[in-house]
Structures are given as C-alpha cells and as structure tokens.
Structure 1
Amino acid sequence: MLQSPETAQQASVEAFKTLGICEQLAEAAAALGWKEPTSIQQQAVPLLLQGRDVIGLAQTGSGKTGAFVLPILQDLLNKPQPLFALVLSPTRELAIQIAEQAEALGAGIALRTAVLVGGINMMDQALHLGKRPHIIVGTPGRVVDHLSNTKGLNLKMLKHLVLDEADRLLNMDFEEEIDQILKAIPKERRTQLFSATMTSKVQKLQRACLRDPAKVEVDQKYKTVSTLRQQYLFIPAKHKDCYLVHALTELAGATFMIFTRTADGAQKLALLLRNLSFAAIPIYGKMSQDKRIGALNKFKAGQCSILVATDVASRGLDIPAVDVVVNYDVPHNSKDYVHRVGRTARAGRSGRALTLVTQYDVELYQRIEKLIGKKLEEFATEQELVLLLLERVSEAQRMATMQMRDADKSKGSKRKQQGEDAEDGDDRPSAGRGRGRGRGKRRN
C-alpha cells in the first residue's frame, strides 16, 4: 500500500526525531527529501548531542554534512550566539555546498552563514562576517587570511569546530593553517573530524585537537554500487582522443563527467571537444571562483552535457543526474577511482563508468581492480571505426593547442600591462587582498 506524501513526510520526521533532534529540525531534514537517517547520522548525531567529540570515518555521499550540522543547530537553538561554529573544508565548492545545506536545515531558525574561500573578494566576505554569522564555512587558507587581516574577527567564543574531509585537508598541506586556527579558537569546544580514510596524518590531527573522541565508522571497504556498470577500453596512447570521441558518440544523449589528471589537461580537452561540437565545459582548481560556480551551474542546469574536471570535483560535491563517468586519465591513487565513479549511479539509479587504459596505465588499472575486488568489463569498439575519426580529431587537437597558446599570450600581456601600470603608480590592489604568504595553491 502506497503512502500519501503527507504520511511519508511525517514518517521521515519521526525517523529523524529518534536521533534526539527536535521536531523543527526533523521537519527541516524531511523537507530536504531525506527519508531516514543514514548510517553515519544514526551513529554520530546521538553522541554529538551528548556533547562528545567525534571522529567519523565515512565515504563521500554518506550524509556526513547532516551528521555534523544537525547537532550544531540543535545546540545553537539552546544557546544562541554569533560565531558559534567553524567548518573547515578542503575545497571551495564543498564549502559552498556545506553552507547551502546548513542554510536549508536552518531556514526556520533564521540561521546566518558566511563562506570564506579563495577566489572571492575578501572585503565582500568581511562584510558578511560583520553581520555576525552563526556558522562560518571555509577553506583553511582563507580563514587564516581573515583571522590575520579582518578587524573585529574573534573566534574566542567558538563552540564547535568541524574538520570535513580531513584526509584531503592534510594531503593539501594545510597543517600550518590548521595549527594557526587551533591557536585562535578556545580549547573548551566540541570538535568533529570526518575523513574517508584514517591516515597517520589524520591520527596525529585527532590527537592534537580532539578530547576523548567517540569513533564512528561506516563500512570502509572501498566498493562500488551494484547499479554501476564499470567498463574499460585498452587503447594506444597516441589515439586516446579518438577513442574518447568515439565513446562519447556511441553514448550520445547521456550526461558525462570526464576526469583528467591536470588542470591544463582539463582545459585542453574541453577545448578539443568544443571544437568537435560537443557541449563541454571544464572545472579545475586554477579557475576563478565565479567561473567554477558558473561551470557547475551550467552542467547542473543541462546547458552543457559534458563536465571535464580534475579531482576537485570527485568528492563531496552534489552533482545529480550524471549518466557516465569517464576516466580519461587513470588516477594514480586507486581510491580516487572510487570517488570519481561515485559521481554516477547515486541514490539507487543506474550509471556507467568507462576507464581509458593506455599501455602506460596497466599497473594503475590492475591496482583499481584489486581495490574494488572485481574485474571490469571491456567496452566494445572496432578500431577501424575509431580511426575514421583521426583526421577530425587531429584538427581539433591542433586548434585546441593554438587556443591554449593564445590564452597564455593574452594572460602574459595582461600581466605585463598590470606591471607597467604599477610602475606608473596606477596599480590599485583589490580590496581585501590578504597579506598572507602568497601560496596561491593553498588559498583554496
């Protein structure tokens, strides 16, 4: 017997109330379409409501954000104050997504958030901080910039600290920034640390900032869902682009995420595909924040059917309705394969993953099969049909190379002009530019 929407909604509310959260927050969770608490929420939320520090081991897509946001909001309801919680994230996009989900859960209690990430004017962010947000979500580098340069920012009354995707935070060399943040916040606080893996660096961080933590863990075996069809193509490296274009043509009508190893690789591949009339758009770490958000929004809205990405988009981001994930470059870290292909076949839907394996990738490919415990299926192709594309693809490659070169020249000319303006005394530094150490790759 089918439930009415109202009955199903009330069942969801009751399911979340069993965690110990109040009815108002349970209704907010149900309003987001959450039918019942995930495993990590069932384990972590009651402990956090008891005031325990928690270390949670769970993969992306396991509901971690709800696990740490719901207890924070309940505590905020009981003891309202500004600058109540700080959430640290490894990437800009994940920080924005966490803030959006927190705002949705806290809409009924007039929750205020501020997002502190690179690529956005610091003065604008400082204005948001001036409105005394309840929750700050940011990347460590930009949070440190504001602690150093934004007058009036004081986190001495902070009650909650969350380190999300801690393994990635540490792999991106944020240890120094995290240390600075820990010195700026009170020792008497609640701390939550969530990570996909328990590395030695994560263990060290746990000892440094958590007190007698409770450990909760979702199944940590690296596995892929049963609704995901996983395939590979063994190809000569020199014809890699031909095989990719052939596969995209064979699977026409689907939405794709194509993963490359480098930012330049993502940019060039997107240009190549556009030159062949595919609706492709890139996203990578070097892009400005506005362009990264714009690329994601265009893909989500269906304006582009192909998102060419580096691993900046492999974990944490909620990108619905991806039909096919293509590993254009086999990842060096086998676990990244699981994160990448997790972009499709979500929430019970089916999906497909295709990995392009050249003669140089065999060992990396074998590691992936060993990690996930299964053999991948071969994607059927005929070499003669693929090589019919060679002339068109070669021309598109040449055009992409020229476009990349022209873009580099344009950037070089712009930098030269800015330098001349500075010599003339006309240079105006943008408001809020941090006086940090200038390690741009870490100002995520």
Structure 2
Amino acid sequence: MPSPDEATTSSTPSTFKSLGLIDPLLEALDQMGYKAPTEIQSESLPYALEGRDIIGVASTGSGKTAAFALPILQKLWDEPKGLFACVLAPTRELAYQISQQFESLGSAMGVRCAVIVGGMDMPAQSIALAKRPHIVVATPGRLIDHLENTKGFSLRGIKFLVLDEADRLLDMDFGPIIDKILKLIPKERTTYLYSATMTSKVAKLQRASLSNPVRVEVSSKYQTVSTLLQYYLLMPLKDKDAYLVYLANSLAQNSIIIFTRTVNDAARLSIILRTLGFPAVPLHGKLSQSQRLGALGKFKSGGRRVLVATDVASRGLDIPAVDIVINFDIPTHSKDYIHRVGRTARAGRAGKSITLVTQYDVELIQRIEKVIGKKMDLWPTDTEEIALLKERVNEAGRVAVNELKEQVTKGGNLNRKRGREEIGGGRDDRDRDDDVVEAGMPVRNKRSKKAGRR
C-alpha cells in the first residue's frame, strides 16, 4: 500500500464555517461553546469532508472526537439511512463520552446512538441495536459478542469505521478481536484511525484497515501543553498520605483528580479523604459500570470536587474544568504521565500538576523531565502544618483499612452465595459486586457506615 499523504499546515486561521460544515452542525458547535477549530480539526476536516480515510496523530485533549464526528454527521445529513457508523473505543467511559459528543453535535438532526460495552445488560443492548441507531459506539469485546450472538444485528451496511485511541486498543490486546470485526464490515467504507502515538502495531493496523489515507499529525513527540504548570513535592514514603491530605486541604477550592497506581490505593485514599471531610469519589475498574458512571457524573457536575482514580481515567476522558492533577504514584511510563496531566489545561485553559516524589522515585521523575523537555518546580509546603496533620491522617488510614476489610469479607460471602446458586459467574458478575465503597458516601467512623447500608 502506498504511504499515506501528509497533510500540510495552512498559515490562514480557519473557522468551522470556512472548513465547509453545514448550518445544523455550526449551530450545534456554537451552542456547545466551540468558537474555533483545534489544530487536528483544521487539518483533518477538509480531507474528511472530501471522503478520504484519515490517520490522525494528536496528543490527548486535542479535539479528536469532533474531528471524526463532524464529517460523519455531515455525511449522515446527506444520507439519513439506518446504522451509519461504528466507533471502537478502548474503555467504557470513553465510549459513553464519544456517544454524548455525537448526540450533542447531531442534536439538530436527531442522531441516535447506542453504546455497547461490557458490564451492562446484553438483552437491553440487543433491544437498543434493534432500534436501528445511526451510530454504534462500542468496546471491541462486547461488539464481537453481539455480532456473533445477537440475531439480526450486523455491520454490513455501515459507511464509516472509527478506531479511536488505536494505540491503547492494541495495548489492551484487542488486536485479534479488531481483526475479526474488520472481516464482518464492508470493504467499501471510510475509515478514521486516531491515535496519540504511531507504534508498529498501529502502523500494521493502518495497513490492514485504511485505503489511501491522509496522515494528519499535530504532535510528533510526547509533550505537555504550555498552559500546564508542573510541580513536584519531595517527601518520605511513610508521610505520603499526610502530604496528599495537606495538598487537598490547601487546594480545597479547586477541582482535583488524584491518580494512583492501584485499585486498592484509589479506594483507600477516597475513604481517607471523605473521613477527613473532603468531597472525594473513587473511579477504577473494580467498580460496577453504574458506579463508574455515577462517579464521573458527580465529578463533572461539581457535586464532588475530588476524583481519586486509577489510569482508567487518564486517557480520552474530557472532564471540563479540572484545575489540578495530583500524581500520588509516579507512573512507570512517561507517556502515562503525559496522559494523566493532560486531564487539566485543556482547550487553552491553564492548569497545574503536582507529582508526589519519595526517596525511591527520583530516577522516575528525572526520566519524565527528560521526556517532556522541562524541569518541574518544587511545590511550596508548610512542614509544621503537615506534622500536625499526621495523627489525624493515620487514624483515617486505619478507618480505611477496616472499611476495605469489611467490604472484602462481604464480597467473599456474596461470591460464595452466588457460587451455590449458579455455576460460572464470569466477569459480568464480578463487575456487579459492590466490593469497593460506593461513590460519594461520607465515612464518619469505623462502625457508622457499614457495607450493607451503602
């Protein structure tokens, strides 16, 4: 296959109207507060509106979703026929977000979307598919389940296929499933592949799925945006929780995402923060889908100002107006750091990131500084105030440990009961277990909020 054409950057600032979008889409963009196209939108939309396949390489927060949604909706306006496009996304939360973006941009044309992801009811999804949505947004595993098992559902008539966050799709070993899906959709289609990086796996997928594409690249290396102020905070490992609470206290008026490496730390820290009076909510892969969506909804609406999350929230999610990102644990890979801090300072806004650095993390932080090409500044602290916090934080930590033990015991009893009642619970049953504290419930002490009341 010939190499993709390279898009050239125009020096003239573009507007959505000058790019050739129709009035219903211009009205929706205006209502959503989009004043001017981002770089990836300016570069890709002219080719997409001509009907070309697109390879889009752009950093997180660059406006990729609108870059592929707008040309699909414009073509749908001309040909309003049944199931029109399929979008593959690596995570459930990103799938829901893409669907919301399509419905908002396509509000004037009554666009109908179906979200097909794991952890949700298969029969209800089958009913949604039977209603002939225009756009299906799906995670690959659940989509192939429906293609193989849901009577009457197929993708044989689609005009567009989108592979969003393609590098992460392949990192999560969806490659063989995507190969199956590609065999079940028409060869005559338009394909958009968007990725933060062009790995060898993504290049192989590009060759298999695209025809004579245009390559639009607006970030050739990993980098952070200029509006992001990046800080580090040096501390002994044993005082890490106290330093985090100090930050939460001194930044209490801001919306904050705290990233942890493990599910247990996300659950533990959310309980510690709520015990000490901070409106914190957890987000990680062990929560049921309804709990995950509920946590995101509360944080987005401002009902909870602190989100404690694993890397399930680091890629793709557009959470408006995040003021601060705190890395409780330094990610092992520099690219994960860039995706995390990309949750703030989005769309030209300012933002701050603060990374907690223990005596064991110095090499990791130096590696990240080398990749991003800049030195982080030291975040100022009041050591006396931190010393005064330690006793209260340690007590809250004991509350969290007891709380989590209680939930594990309850979860084990629940699993044993299910094992007696039915054989082969599988992944969906585990998703429904309430094995982590539910989003947003304050914890007063060890005994006041038992798992059964949550």
TM-score > 0.5 by shorter chain: yes
Distance (Å, rounded) in 2 between the aligned partners of 1:278 and 1:210: 48
**Are residues 1:77 and 2:102 paired?**
no
User: Aligned pairs, how many?
Assistant: 415
| One-letter amino acid of the counterpart of residue 190, structure 1 | T
Q: Which residue of 2 aligns with 1:169?
A: 169
Q: What is the CA deviation profile of residues 371-409 of structure 1, one whole-angstrom value per residue up to 9, with x for unaligned ones? A: 111111111224343222222111111111111111011
Instruction: Give the fraction of aligned pairs with identical amino acids, expressed as a percent.
Output: 57
Call closer, same or farther: CA 1:347–1:210 in 2, change over 3 Å.
closer
Distance (Å, rounded) in 1 between the aligned partners of 2:40 and 2:226: 21
The alpha-carbon deviation at position 314 of structure 1 amounts to 1.4
| One-letter amino acid of the counterpart of residue 241, structure 2 | D
Q: Which residue of 2 aligns with 1:148?
A: 148
Q: Which residue of 1 aligns with 2:338?
A: 338
SS in 2 for 1:24: helix
| One-letter amino acid of the counterpart of residue 202, structure 1 | V
Q: Which residue of 1 aligns with 2:159?
A: 159
| One-letter amino acid of the counterpart of residue 335, structure 1 | K
SS in 1 for 2:398: helix
Q: Which residue of 2 aligns with 1:322?
A: 322
Matches within 5 A, 1:270-419: 270-419=270-419
Distance (Å, rounded) in 2 between the aligned partners of 1:226 and 1:55: 25
The alpha-carbon deviation at position 45 of structure 1 amounts to 1.4
The alpha-carbon deviation at position 24 of structure 1 amounts to 2.3
The alpha-carbon deviation at position 261 of structure 1 amounts to 0.9
The alpha-carbon deviation at position 251 of structure 1 amounts to 2.1
Matches within 5 A, 1:207-226: 207-226=207-226
Distance (Å, rounded) in 1 between the aligned partners of 2:419 and 2:331: 39
Distance (Å, rounded) in 1 between the aligned partners of 2:383 and 2:42: 51
Q: What is the CA deviation profile of residues 216-251 of structure 1, one whole-angstrom value per residue up to 9, with x for unaligned ones? A: 111333333333221111111111101111122222
Distance (Å, rounded) in 2 between the aligned partners of 1:31 and 1:382: 45
Distance (Å, rounded) in 2 between the aligned partners of 1:351 and 1:159: 39
The alpha-carbon deviation at position 42 of structure 1 amounts to 1.5
| One-letter amino acid of the counterpart of residue 167, structure 2 | D
SS in 1 for 2:231: strand
Distance (Å, rounded) in 1 between the aligned partners of 2:254 and 2:34: 27
Matches within 5 A, 1:243-258: 243-258=243-258
Distance (Å, rounded) in 1 between the aligned partners of 2:244 and 2:202: 38
RMSD over aligned CA atoms reads 1.9
For structure 1, the 5+ residue unaligned runs are 1-13, 435-444
Contact 2:330–2:356 under 8 Å retained in 1? yes
| One-letter amino acid of the counterpart of residue 148, structure 1 | E
Matches within 5 A, 1:3-152: 15-152=15-152
Distance (Å, rounded) in 2 between the aligned partners of 1:313 and 1:349: 19
Relative to structure 2, which stretch is displaced further, 132-141 or 297-306? Answer: 297-306
SS in 2 for 1:17: coil
Distance (Å, rounded) in 2 between the aligned partners of 1:149 and 1:35: 44
Contact 2:61–2:343 under 8 Å retained in 1? no
TM-score, normalised to structure 2, is 0.88
Distance (Å, rounded) in 1 between the aligned partners of 2:390 and 2:109: 59
The alpha-carbon deviation at position 252 of structure 1 amounts to 2.5
Distance (Å, rounded) in 1 between the aligned partners of 2:71 and 2:322: 31
Distance (Å, rounded) in 2 between the aligned partners of 1:223 and 1:48: 26
Distance (Å, rounded) in 2 between the aligned partners of 1:54 and 1:229: 33
TM-score, normalised to structure 1, is 0.90
| One-letter amino acid of the counterpart of residue 235, structure 2 | I
Distance (Å, rounded) in 2 between the aligned partners of 1:315 and 1:265: 19
Distance (Å, rounded) in 2 between the aligned partners of 1:27 and 1:380: 46
| One-letter amino acid of the counterpart of residue 130, structure 2 | G
The alpha-carbon deviation at position 348 of structure 1 amounts to 3.4
Distance (Å, rounded) in 2 between the aligned partners of 1:41 and 1:226: 19
SS in 1 for 2:422: helix
SS in 1 for 2:356: strand
Q: What is the CA deviation profile of residues 26-68 of structure 1, one whole-angstrom value per residue up to 9, with x for unaligned ones? A: 2222222111221111111111222211101011221111111
Q: What is the CA deviation profile of residues 269-299 of structure 1, one whole-angstrom value per residue up to 9, with x for unaligned ones? A: 1112122222111001221111111101111
